[in-house]
Homo-oligomer: A and B are copies of this chain.
Amino acid sequence: MIVVMQSKATEPDVDGVVRRIKDLGLKPHISRGEFRTIIGAIGDESLLRPEFFAGLAGVESVMPIMKPYKLASRDFHAEDTVLKIGPYQVGGPNLAVMAGPCSIETEEQLRQSARAVREAGGVFLRGGAFKPRTSPYSFQGLGEDGLKMLQAVGAEVGLPTVTEIVDVRDLDRVVRYADVLQVGARNMQNFRLLAEIGRLDKPVLLKRNPAATIEELLMSAEYVCSEGNQRVMLCERGVRGFDKETRYMLDLAAVPVLQGLTHLPVVVDPSHATGRRDLVAPMALAAVAAGAQAILVEVHPHPEKAMSDGPQQLRPEAFREMMAELATIAAAVGRKLQTPVALEPRP
């Protein structure tokens, strides 16, 4: 950590910083320039917070040198993490497509979606049972009934399931019925929920909050990892932008940026990012070209009747077309789409 002193900082100010560094068990290193004195703190920066210095007299700014996360950092874990979930992988050489309806509405609707997903080559079934909705008057999901349908239909089509957890009190139920826990964008900094999930042995799909920096996303992953659960996938799903044409602004550069900083797999959700059906396929293709390790999209047999997010859900035939294109793009970057294994009852 580097502490830059104000131009008018006094010797006692410098001493104050030096003393604080020593108190913390690190070694100070003073460098006096023409205009500024700069003090480095040498040693294990993970013991430090900028706020230990920012409040001291004469301090102009504090610059961390090390990343504030450790378990999520590629510095400490150079190899890509590969999550094994059922017969599939996320983070390995081959791409995983996760798809299904935004909300589980009926068993029949879920079944139709699931079959469309499997037939087109998707390898995870997503579906929301607990829905975080902006309006209290909107459909809030089927709850546990939805979870049961998800489990049943997932088993039927032989695909691992992904569903969102919105309340820490639902954790037992969601863990019982689903294979992957999704932490939605709005709960990315629900730190208690993250900590609880960190104590489970269950893969997590952690979505970036629309206001979160990439570093904040990694810090949230660190919450999960630091409790023991390293099975974390990070999902870019659009940040808050100023353009009215799309719902959020998809930050695709986050894909290679994240892959440089972390060993955890990176997933892209073009459906929520854009909010527009016609943009889902181009953005999914772009995400794969940029290196995403999995894609999460919404598929609904009748989007015009969907109880949530109708405008962004793909019809089965559009999903099928997109999958064909994705396979071509994946090949172009030297990868393959994983495909569903032959159906047999899951244990």
Chain A residues in the interface with B (C-beta under 8 A): 2, 4, 7, 29, 31-36, 38, 40, 42-46, 49, 51-52, 54-57, 63, 65-66, 68-69, 75, 132-138, 140, 166-169, 186-187, 189-193, 195, 209-211, 213-216, 219, 222-223, 226-227, 239-246, 249-257, 260, 273-274, 278-279, 282-283, 285-291, 303-306, 308-311, 313, 325, 328-329, 331-333
Contacts and interface: CB of A to CB of B under 8 A. Distances in A.
12 contacts: A32-B42, A55-B310, A134-B216, A136-B195, A167-B168, A186-B190, A209-B211, A246-B257, A249-B251, A252-B286, A253-B274, A285-B333
Nearest to A139: B49
A240 B51 CA distance: 20
A194 to B, nearest CB: 8
Contact of A135 (B219, B246, B278, B309): B219
Contacts of A331: 332
Contacts of A279: 253, 256-257
Contacts of A241: 239, 241-242, 249, 251
Given A242-B213, A333-B325, A55 B253 contact: no
The main secondary structure of chain A at its interface with chain B is mixed
Given A136-B222, A246-B253, A290-B283, A66 B239 contact: no
A74 to B, nearest CB: 10
A58 B278 CA distance: 14
B251 A253 contact: no
Contacts of A189: 132, 134, 186
Contacts of A135: 49, 68-69, 219, 222
A4 B65 contact: yes
Contacts of A187: 190
A251 B56 CA distance: 27
Q: A7, A136, A215, A311: which has the most chain B beta carbons within 10 Å?
A: A136
Given A168-B169, A332-B329, A36 B65 contact: yes
Copies in the complex: 4
A312 B42 CA distance: 26
A166 to B, nearest CB: 6
Contacts of A291: 282
Nearest to A302: B55
A332 B327 CA distance: 9
A240 to B, nearest CB: 4
A282 B253 CA distance: 8
A140 B222 CA distance: 15
Given A40-B33, A239-B241, A51 B308 contact: yes
Contact of A40 (B38, B223, B282, B283): B38
A137 B46 contact: yes
A331 B195 CA distance: 45
Nearest to A191: B132
B136 A56 contact: no
A2 B38 contact: yes
B134 A214 contact: no
Nearest to A220: B134
Given A43-B34, A329-B333, A213 B51 contact: no
A30 to B, nearest CB: 10
Nearest to A44: B34
